[in-house]
Amino acid sequence: MYKLLIILSLMIVIGCNSRTDKTNQTDSDNSSTTTKPVDDTINDIDGCYMQVLKRDTFTASLQRQGNVITGSMSFDNYEKDGSTGTVKGSLQGDKMKLFYSFSSEGMSSVMELYFQYKDGTLIRAIGEMNNKGDTAYFTNPGSIKYEGSILKKIPCETLPDKYK
């Protein structure tokens, strides 16, 4: 559990430091992956995304089917524990609510993640989080801000092999 808190804290710090122009949008999306009307405002979300901040790398490979988002993610932290796993969640408008199931140092965990899709980028949400068992979740999704890490869309063939 201690390692999960370290990883979570590191990701929040990286997210807070990587965004220079701040937006103050909130999201009260409490949706799950249940069937909802398809939102066709975002047609080009499928693909690969990456952010490199100093020696840390954050990657995502996402696929959309209706309002369901699936894929994989990797946090490769320099000189700290990284994680790799799968994501599944929902899309509502330009916001994604994902559950990241990952392994780190032999432990399996789940983390709730929110992203805003904007102009070919994914902007990660930040906010107060809590843990219950092996799951980290936002304590108040209505107060999250999209001011975290920014992952830029890249051609999937340029994604380094270790993140595929």
Q: Please report the pLDDT score of residue 7 as a whole number.
A: 43
Tokens of 114: 């929110």
Q: Please report the pLDDT score of residue 40 as a whole number.
A: 53
Residue, of 126 and 7, whose pLDDT is higher:
126
Mean pLDDT along residues 124-150: 96
Q: What is the mean pLDDT of the chain?
A: 80
pLDDT-above-70 percentage for the chain: 75
Mean pLDDT along residues 47-72: 94
Residue 86 predicted with pLDDT over 50:
yes
Mean pLDDT along residues 20-30: 41
Name 4's bridge partners: none
Mean pLDDT along residues 40-58: 86
Q: Please report the pLDDT score of residue 33 as a whole number.
A: 43
Residue 164 predicted with pLDDT over 80:
no
CA proximity to 100, closest of 74, 67, 128: 74
pTM value is 0.73
